[in-house]
Structure formats: structure tokens, C-alpha cells
Amino acid sequence: MSRKNTICPTKKFINERKQTMKKRIICLLITFAVAVSVCCALSLSVDAAGWETSGNLKFKLNYDGNSYRVAAANTSITTANIPRSFAGKPVTEIADSGFKECHQLRSCSIPDSIKKIGTDAFCFCEKLTDINLPSSVTYVGSSAFLCCESLTSIAIPNGTTHLDSMFSGCENLKTVYIPKTVTSFVWYTFKQCHNLETIYFAGTRAEWNELCKNNFYTFFETGSKTSKGTYTVICSVCPHLSKTTTPYTAPT
């Protein structure tokens, strides 16, 4: 056998190996590119929405990465039972506009893991009649219950400090329980609460007077103390408001 015939098969083998490796590298590059594209697409989807749906609720990871906020998955929801946790992490907030314009929502169960109720959280939930705010809630956003026309009574959790147009348009609201931690509320907090009859305030009479001074004179006059410890209150935007009771024991 000549030297030429001995070398040629070796070169052919090397060339075939090179071609095979080249094909493998190209395949790997294509696979990698496809994987990157898929990951980018998924990333864009999460960034654009960020919500995970479970039943009639949806959840979004908060900025701290350790808790979730919750909202209605759709506006046709009738009952909401918010869980204490989702995906192994606590649910601590009701999102801004979380249940806004859920016109058929009648009741919402809120666990004691919730600390914050966002702005416009339940506004325009005209059929909402049953809602209890747990003592864990320390912040209630502006217009949270705006135009909840079916609410008749509500107790603000202890720790809440400010009421900002929270009940405007709650036409059938009759009784409100306010903790002594509330230090201010604006004049339109009770705007169009035409049937509001009684405000129960947990603080002293002096604290109530101070609270009234800081709300642009929503309550223009207060009467003398009665035998039952109530006071007559005149409010221009609540014509049926007849009394406040201080102090009081918050309902359970």
C-alpha cells in the first residue's frame, strides 16, 4: 500500500469529524436561540401582567418578593373568599382597584393576613353588603368603598389613621365604628351618606372634638351629653346623622 492511500482515509475521517462537529455546534446554537426567545417571551408576558389566577381571584407578587396582593379575576364575581396565603407566601394586600366595579359582588371574606386595602379597592360594588375588616388592617386607601350603596354598617379597624372619602356615595350606610387611632378625615368622607344615623367613636369626647376640628368642619355643631353618653351632631352632608357615642367597644 502506497503512502498516499494511507493518508487519504485519515484526512477524510478528519474532515467528516469537522463537518459533524460543525453541525452539532449549529444545532446547539439554534437550540440556545430558541430557548432564549421562549424565555424572553415568557418574561415579557410576566412583566406585562404579573398576575396568577386561581379560581375567581388573581394574585401578584408584591415588590418585597415575600408577599402577594389580591384582586378579582373578573368583574362578574359574586363572592370573594381571600386566602391567607398563595404559593406559600402570605396575602397581605387588596390591590388598588382590586374589586372595582364588581357590580355583582355581595360579600368578601378578608383574612387577618391583610394589612392594606388599596385605593378604590371596592368602589362601585353596589351590591356589597357583607364585609368585615380584620384588626390586622392598618391602612385603607382613598375611596375604598366609594358608592357601595348596599353597605349599612362598617367598623374601621384599630390602627387606621386617616379616612379619605372612604364612604362617599354609600347611600344606605347607617352606622360607622371609628377607632381612636383615626386622627383626621376630609369633609367628603361621608358625602351622600344620606341615611347615616350613628357614629361610634372609641376615643374620648375631647379627642372627638379635636378630630372634628381637623376635617374642614364636617360636623358644625355638637350638643350636650345625654344620659346615655351620646352627643347630638349636625352634619351638612348627612342630614339624618343624629348622634355619636363615645367611648365604645368595637364589634367583633
Concatenated DSSP letters of 39-100: HHHHHHHHHHT-EEEETTEEEEE-TTSS-EEEEESSTT--EEE--SEETTEEEEEEPTTTTT
Distance CA 156, CA 140 (A): 9
List the 130-131 sheet strands across, edge first.
79-81, 107-109, 130-131
- One pLDDT digit (tens) per residue for the chain, 252 residues: 545 454 455 655 556 655 666 555 555 444 444 444 434 333 333 333 689 999 999 999 999 899 999 999 999 999 999 999 999 999 999 999 999 999 999 999 999 999 999 999 999 999 999 888 999 998 999 899 999 999 999 999 888 888 888 888 999 998 888 888 888 777 678 888 888 888 888 877 777 777 776 554 445 444 444 444 555 555 555 666 666 666 666 555
Distances (CA, A) of 36 to 43, 89, 151: 10, 29, 51
pLDDT at 203: 78
Q: Which residues pair with 61 in a beta bridge?
A: 68
Tell me what pLDDT residue 216 has: 46
CB 174 within 8 A of CB 198: yes
Distance CA 106, CA 130 (A): 7
Per the structure block, which three cell numbers stand in for 82? 381571600
What's residue 225's pLDDT? 44
Say what the pLDDT of residue 60 is: 96
| Residue 22 DSSP SS3 | helix
Q: What does the pLDDT read at residue 206? A: 74
Peptide bond into 9 cis (omega under 30): no
Task: Order across the sheet with 198-201: list the strands.
Answer: 153-155, 175-178, 198-201, 243-245, 230-235, 219-225
Task: Return the pLDDT at 239.
Answer: 62
Centre a 10 Å sphere on the Cβ of residue 111 and count the other Cβ atoms it contains.
Answer: 16
**Calpha distance 140→116 (Å, rounded):** 6
Half-sphere exposure of 164 (CA within 13 A, CB side): 10
* All residues at 6 or more sequence positions from 245 whose CB lies less than 8 Å from its CB, including other chains: 198, 199, 200, 201, 228, 229, 230, 231
Q: What is the pLDDT of residue 211?
A: 76
Cα separation values, 119 from 96, 99, 220, Å: 5, 10, 28
What amino acid is encoded at 224 in this protein?
S
